[in-house]
């Protein structure tokens, strides 16, 4: 019986997070109250308080559970075969872009919350979410560095990585599933454009020299400055 109650608890909690993500995304975090959250979730305020002490902890679970899914995608894809060559890096990058586009498509409300509302969390709740985001950004940056090692020794690697997220983060706002271009078809389009740009950038000796970093920084001692998915610096 205890096991069934636990499963029921987790199912109810999952449903609360889905409805809360929708309300936060559509109304904004500040406009949402525990009363409006309870109404959106179809539960009483008393039951909602049984699960969460306040809306900040609801926001935390919405954001953390979503970014943990993104981390899991990265670990799964890069765990298959870590890119050791430019060719492998390109394949890995296209797989990652494809998986992220698909995840964004099915998690639109959670994605909006992650990008727009995490800043409203108090520091003890905000930092774990931001660190998970930085973990994702670091992983993508590592693949891009394997794709074009010239960038790894410059201050361009992080901005270039964020350009990629700028290309895909809001695709779901304009790419129609019933349109001529599917999410699956979009991945190689984005990859081709991005990879071509990275290779072209690596040939710009003037920019490589201008943004060259000292060896210790290039090795990653500046980890605290890794941006989050919305571009916020650590």
Kindly state the average pLDDT of the residues 85-112: 95
Q: Is 83-225 assigned to CATH 1.25.40.10?
A: no
pLDDT range class, residue 194, cuts 50, 70, 90:
very high
pLDDT tens digits along 143-154: 999 999 999 999
Neighbours of 225 (CB within 10 A): 11
In whole numbers, what is the pLDDT of the chain averaged over residues? Answer: 90
Average pLDDT estimate for 9-33: 94
Q: What are phi and psi of 218, to 5 degrees?
A: -65, -25
Q: Is 70 a residue whose pLDDT tops 90?
A: yes
- pLDDT tens for each residue of 107-144: 999 999 999 999 999 999 999 999 999 999 999 999 99
Domain ranges within the chain, ordered by starting residue: 83-225
Confidence label for 59 from pLDDT (cuts 50, 70 and 90): very high
49 pLDDT band, cuts 50/70/90, is: very high
Is pLDDT above 90 for 224?
Answer: no
Q: Is the pLDDT higher at 222 or at 209?
A: 209
| Better-predicted residue by pLDDT, 178 or 101 | 101
Confidence of residue 48 (pLDDT cuts 50, 70, 90): very high
SS (H, E, C) the chain: CHHHHHHHHHHHHHHHHHHHHHHHHHHCCCCCCHHHHHHHHCCCHHHHHHHCCCHHHHHHHHHHHHHHHHHHHHHHHHHHCCCCCHHHHHHHHHHHHHHHHHHHHHCHHHHHHHHHCHHHCCHHHHHHHHHHHHHHHHHHHHHHHHHCHHHHHECCHHHHHHHHHHHHCCHHHCCCCCCCCCHHHHHHHHHHHHHHHHHHHHCCHHHHHHCECCHHHHHHHCHHHCCCCCCCCC
State the pLDDT confidence band at 222, using cuts at 50, 70 and 90: low
The Cα-based distances of 226 to 14, 103, 120, 234 in angstroms read 31, 23, 20, 6
Of the pLDDT bands very low, low, confident and very high (cuts 50, 70, 90), residue 192 is very high
């Amino acid at each position: 019986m205890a096991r069934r109650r636990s499963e029921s608890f987790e199912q109810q909690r999952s449903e609360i997070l889905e409805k809360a993500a929708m309300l936060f995304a559509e109304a904004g975090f500040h406009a949402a109250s525990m009363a409006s959250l309870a109404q959106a979730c179809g539960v009483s305020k008393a039951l909602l308080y049984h699960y969460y002490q306040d809306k900040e902890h609801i926001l935390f679970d919405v954001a953390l559970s979503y970014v943990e899914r993104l981390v899991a995608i990265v670990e799964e894809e890069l765990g298959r075969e870590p890119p050791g060559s430019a060719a492998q890096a390109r394949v890995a990058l296209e797989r990652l872009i494809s998986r992220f586009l698909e995840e964004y498509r099915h998690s639109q409300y959670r994605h909006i919350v992650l990008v727009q509302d995490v800043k409203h969390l108090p520091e003890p709740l905000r930092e774990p979410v931001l660190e998970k985001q930085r973990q994702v950004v670091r992983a993508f940056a590592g693949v891009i560095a394997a794709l074009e090692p010239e960038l790894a020794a410059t201050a361009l690697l992080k901005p270039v990585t964020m350009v990629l997220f700028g290309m895909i983060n809001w695709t779901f706002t304009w790419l129609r599933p019933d349109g001529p271009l599917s999410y699956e078809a979009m991945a190689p389009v984005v990859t081709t454009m991005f990879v071509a740009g990275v290779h072209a950038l690596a040939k710009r000796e003037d920019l490589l020299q201008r943004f060259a970093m000292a060896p210790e920084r290039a090795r990653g001692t500046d980890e605290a400055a890794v941006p989050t998915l919305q571009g916020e610096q650590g």
